[in-house]
Amino acid sequence: MTNSQTLKSRQANAVVAGVATKSIFVERAENSELWDVDGRRFIDFAAGIAVTNTGHRHPRVMAAVAEQAQQFTHTCFHVAPYESYVRLAERLNALVDTGEENRTMLVTTGAEAVENAIKIARAHTRRSAVIAFFGAFHGRTVLGMALTGKVVPYKKGFGPFPAEVYHVPFPAAFSGVTAEGSLSALDSLLASDVDPERVAAFIIEPVQGEGGFNAAPSELLQGLRLRADKYGIVLIADEVQGGMARTGKMLSIEHSGVKPDLVTLAKGLAGGFPLSAVVGKATVMNSAHPGGLGGTYAGNPIAVAAAHAVLDVIEDEKLCARAAWIGKKIGSRLKSIAQRQGMERIGDIRCHGAMIAFELVDDRNGRIAAPQLTAQIVAEAEQRGLILLSCGTRFNVIRLLPPLTVPDDVLDQALDLLEASLEAAFSKIGAADHRG
C-alpha cells in the first residue's frame, strides 16, 4: 500500500465524509509544482483554487511571514491593533476604484467577507433583500449558501436558507443567455417579486468561478450600476476568485469600467495565508456601528504580512501583464486542439487572463453537457501529473488556474500533459460510445 493509500484510509476513518478531496496528499510545494507523499511530482493548475497566484512559497512572502512571526502572531486587532493592518487597509483603499474615498475591513475567509459586505449594505440602506445570480458561488455559510446559485453540492440538504435572497440568470453566450435577457429578468423580478426599495444589494462575480468562468458583459454591469443608482441599491463585486491580478487586471470588474460600491477580496490576497477583505466607499462602509464588524482572527498579522508581500510581488513582477500573456498562450493552444478532428466535444473556450476554462459537450451543435467526459479528463490529467479542477452548474467545465509565476518551461510541460489527457479521455469515451 502506498503512503497516499494509507492516508486515504486514515482520512476515511477520521475526517467527515462531507469534506471531499482529491487523493493527492501533498508533502511539499514550490512555485507551480508540488510533490506528494509518494514522491510524485504534479504541476499545479489549481493554485489552491486561485489562492497561490504568486506561486507556492514565494520567497518574498515567506520572508515577510518569518519576519512577522518573530514579532507577534496574534493579539486580536480589537484588543491590540497594529500598524500593518492599517497600512494594508490604506493600500487596498488606493487599489479599489469606487470613485470615492474608501475604507477597508479585514477578515479571514471569502464567505466571511461576503457576509460582512451584506451586513454593511443592510446597515447602510436599512433594507434586507439581496439579489444574486444563477451559477454564483459566495460561500458555504448559511447566508453564503443562500446567495450561491448552485444547488449540488453546496446547498443540497442544508436548508432552510435566509429569506429575501433572489436570483436572476447570469449571461453565458454559449448557453444563449444574454446581458439583455438577464437585465430583463431582473426588471421582471423587481416588478413582480420584490420592491426595489426593499433591496439592499446586488452581488455579482464579474467572472463567475464555480459557475463556469463566464464573464459578466459590460452591458450587464453597466445596467446593474444604473439600477443601483436609481433605487439606492449597493453594488457589490465579489472578487474572491477573480481578483488579485488573475484576469490581467488587479480586479476583474476593471475590464468593464464599472465602479462598484463594495468589493470582496480573499484567495490570492495573501499568497496562501487566510485573509479576506471588504473594501468600499467610506459613505457605505462606515454605516455599521462601532463593534458591529470584526472577528477574533480578522486581519491576522501573519496573513497581513503575507498580503503586503503579495501586493509588492504583483507590482514588481508585473503579474497582471503575466496573467494576460498566460491566458493568450493557453487559449491559443486550446483553440488549436479544439480544431483537430475528434476534438469536437470541446464546445467553448473562455479566457479571462489566467482564469481559463473550456466546456465539454456531447455534441457541439446540440450543446449537451458531458460531465462524464469532464471527470475523465481530470482523472487522466492527475495520472499524468497535472492538477485540474472542474466547475459549472452542469459539471462539464474544466478550469485552468496556474500560478501567475509559473515558469515558461513548466507551462509548456503542463500544456503537453493537458493535450495528452484530452486525447486519452476522448479515446476512452469514444470507445465506450462505440461499444454502447
CATH of the domain at 236: 3.40.640.10
199 and 140 assigned to the same domain: yes
Q: What local confidence, expressed as pLDDT, does residue 375 receive?
A: 97
- Tally: H helices and E strands in the chain: 13, 16
DSSP track, 7-75: HHHHHHHHS-TTS---S--EEEEEBTEEEETT--EEEESSHHHHT-TT-BT-HHHHHHHHHHHTT-S--
pTM of the model: 0.97
Whether the Cβ atoms of residue 277 and residue 266 lie closer than 8 Å to each other: yes
Identify whether residues 332 and 392 lie together within a single domain: yes
Q: What is the CATH number of the domain that holds 371?
A: 3.90.1150.10
Are 364 and 295 contained in the same domain? no
- pLDDT score for 363: 79
Of 316, 347, 382, the last residue of a domain is 316
Write down which residue in 316, 332, 350 finishes a domain. Answer: 316
Find where cell 433583500 sits. Answer: 129
Residue 105 grid coordinates:
475591513
| 41 lies in the same domain as 129 | no
Tell me how far CA of residue 48 lies from CA of 99, 132, 158, 268, 271, in angstroms: 32, 25, 25, 9, 10
Q: What is the pLDDT, as a whole number, of residue 61?
A: 98
Instruction: Say whether both 417 and 398 belong to one domain.
Output: yes
Same domain membership, residue 239 and residue 368:
no
Full pLDDT tens readout for the chain, 436 residues:
999 999 999 999 999 999 999 999 999 999 999 999 999 999 999 999 999 999 999 999 999 999 999 999 999 999 999 999 999 999 999 999 999 999 999 999 999 999 999 999 999 999 999 999 999 999 999 999 999 999 999 999 999 999 999 999 999 988 899 999 999 999 999 999 999 999 999 999 999 999 999 999 999 999 999 999 999 999 999 999 999 999 999 999 999 999 999 999 999 999 999 999 999 999 999 999 999 999 999 999 999 999 999 999 999 999 999 999 999 999 999 999 999 988 999 999 999 999 999 999 997 777 899 999 999 999 999 999 999 999 999 999 999 999 999 999 999 999 999 999 999 999 887 655 544 4
Provide the grid cell at 9. 484510509
Q: Please enumerate in sequence order all residues whose Cβ is within 8 A of that of 421, keeping only pairs 6 or more positions apart, or say none.
A: 377, 380, 381, 384, 386, 388
Which of 111, 163, 109, 102 shows the shortest CA–CA distance to 136? 111
- For residue 433, the model assigns a pLDDT of 55
Q: What is the pLDDT of residue 173?
A: 87
Q: Residue 151 and residue 368: Cα distance in Å, rounded? A: 20
- Residue 122: other Cβ atoms inside 10 A: 18
Residues with Cβ within 8 Å of residue 237, at least 6 apart in sequence: 204, 205, 206, 251, 252, 253, 260, 262, 263, 264
- Structure confidence at residue 434 (pLDDT): 44
Q: How far apart are CA 79 and CA 40, in angstroms?
A: 45
C-alpha 210/C-alpha 393 separation (Å) is 7
Q: Give the Cα separation of 267 and 272 in Å (integer).
A: 7
| Cβ 84 vs Cβ 92: under 8 Å | no
Secondary element (H or E) of residue 387: strand 386-387
> 108 and 254: one domain?
yes
Q: Domain of 167?
A: 61-316
Q: For 309, phi and psi rounded to 5 degrees?
A: -65, -40
Domain tally, the chain: 2
Residue 15 carries which side chain, given as an amino acid letter? V
Same-domain check for residues 287 and 172: yes
Last residue of a domain, one of 316, 333, 368: 316
One-letter amino acid for residue 336 of the chain:
S
Among 259, 239, 294, 283, residue whose Cα is nearest residue 106: 294
Q: For 99, phi and psi rounded to 5 degrees?
A: 85, 0
Distances in Å between the alpha carbon of 338 and those of 146, 241, 324? 37, 26, 21
DSSP run (H or E) holding 123:
helix 110-125
- Same domain (yes/no): 39, 82: no
Instruction: Looking at the structure, tell me whether residues 289 and 384 fall in a common domain.
Output: no
C-beta of residue 298 within 8 angstroms of C-beta of residue 109: no
Same domain flag for 290 and 186: yes
The answer to whether 57 touches 29, Cβ cutoff 8 Å, is yes
Residue 352 CA: distances (Å) to CA of 53, 177, 218: 14, 19, 14
Is 134 in the same domain as 202? yes
Which helix (H) or strand (E) segment is 373 a member of? helix 371-384
